[in-house]
Amino acid sequence: MRLGVLDVGSNTVHLLVVDAHPGARPLPAHSYKVELRLAQLLDEDGAISEAGVERLIGVVQEALQAAEDKGVEDLLPFATSAVREAGNADDVLARVRAETGVELQVLTGEEEARLTFLAVRRWFGWSAGKLLVLDIGGGSLEIAYGIDEEPDTAVSLPLGAGRLTAGWLPGDPPDATDVKALRRHVRTEIARTVGEFSRFGAPDHVVATSKTFKQLARLAGAARSADGLYVQRELKRESLEAWVPRLAGMTAIERAELPGVSESRAGQLLAGALVAEGAMDLFGVESLEICPWALREGVILRSLDHMPSV
């Protein structure tokens, strides 16, 4: 059957269409993406502005049309931190439902971490052993650890690249004092969670997902996206540590000229790099592998798990 997953995130609204059935690997058929940046469409009270709500409704309607055009049988719509934490979240969800018919499921941060972990586990299989999974989104950082398909522990921290850039790095290029303050904040937040994970022992394999990690790996010499899903891509902490001060001295325009860095994400890449560096350092990770599957695939896989076999 043809499924669509509609992801309303902090940076983008992304419709992913796949051909799938229980027990089989979902095969991508179509992708529709709009840079909405909901996290930046908040008013001074932390609510999504009227213009932001109108824009969201318009993009959801466009995604619905794309899903219909591609023959999607079932749509799985969800929203993450930008909607979850908006001061007017209930009103936004009601408006979207009334004007589009789409009932957005708002995922908790822990649910995001657990579904991403499921996707990573299915991608690497049981032979990967105990997994530590890191995911940096626009609004939050998700961390999960475990040996089964359900992680033993999972947390979500308000350390998304977009959120931190907006709140901590106003300059372009950013002021060195602001970078230092953000670095301290990031490491303090992550350090509070390390003990919760270390009691389970060292992971056998450390994996990262998300656009931020993919771009950082590309900067450090990993293969291009055009080289395909099945090329192994790694990010070494030593390489990342060398890139952080370079990124800190660049403007967003200069970062956008780097290999693998998109113009839309260039402004928040430094914040994402500080989070990635802090997580790898505090968890004692020298190298990690990039997984092409993440939250959207986790939502699809969980849905397929609950469908009856034919």
* pLDDT of 26: 93
* pLDDT of 37: 85
* pLDDT of 195: 95
* pLDDT of 222: 95
Query: Which of 127, 275, 283 has its CA nearest to residue 197?
Result: 283
Query: Would the CA dihedral through 50, 56, 58, 61 be positive or negative?
Result: negative
* pLDDT of 39: 76
* pLDDT of 306: 84
Domain boundaries, the chain: 2-106, 125-295
Do the domains 2-106 and 125-295 sit in the same CATH topology, yes or no? yes
Q: What is the CATH T-level fold of the domain 2-106, as seen in this structure?
A: Nucleotidyltransferase; domain 5 (3.30.420)
Which segments of the chain have a pLDDT < 50? none
Note whether 145 and 152 are within 8 A (CB): yes
Q: What is the pTM of this model?
A: 0.95
Provide the Cα torsion 45, 276, 119, 60; round to 10°.
30
**Backbone φ, ψ for residue 267 (5° rounding):** -65, -30
- Helical pair 269-282 and 161-168, crossing angle rounded to 10 deg: 110
Instruction: For residue 231, give both structure tokens.
Output: 């090329």
* pLDDT of 308: 67
* pLDDT of 309: 59
Q: What is the CATH T-level fold of the domain 125-295, as seen in this structure?
A: Nucleotidyltransferase; domain 5 (3.30.420)
